[in-house]
Amino acid sequence: MRSEVGRRAPALVLVAGLGALLAGCTVGYEHVGNSLRGVPHDDIVRGVTTRADVLRIFGPPDRLIREPGGYAYIYESRFTESRSLTVREPVLLRTDLYSWSETDERSDRLLITFDESGRVLEWGIRRGIDEPRR
């Protein structure tokens, strides 16, 4: 005589197989911009460091802004992680029964302002990529 589990095994395999066919998930990662590794405290000195020095150290900026009395360089590194899950009924209704998605975006940004002579006036950095997920 077959056990209770043995009689239900084909039904369990069928349900598990249908579940696998009807559900789909995705995970995506995107990193845009140059990594802002290290702390620029030693590299950038107000009134001393020039635009040429900054370009040599950090490369070309992501954005260049002309301001009254000088320029500003903006360097940004952005990391996006996305996850989604969709459960779909593909035979009768051909519709999504359940859909979930989540996106986590973090960034580092460095802003450096220069005077008319091309020397650093001010700079600031905001770190966010290494922060824990929300």
Could you read off the pLDDT tens digit of each residue along the chain, which spans 134 residues?
A: 455 656 676 665 655 555 555 567 778 888 787 777 666 777 899 999 999 999 998 889 999 999 888 999 999 988 888 998 888 877 777 787 888 899 988 889 999 999 999 999 999 998 887 776 66
Region of 70 please: left (phi>0), alpha (psi -120 to 50) or beta.
left
Give residue 49's identity as a one-letter amino acid code: T
What's the residue count for the chain? 134
CATH level 3 topology of 25-126: Beta-lactamase Inhibitory Protein; Chain:B, domain 1 (3.30.1450)
| Cα separation, 104 vs 134, whole angstroms | 7
The pTM for the full model equals 0.65
The DSSP element (H or E) to which 11 belongs, if any, is helix 4-22
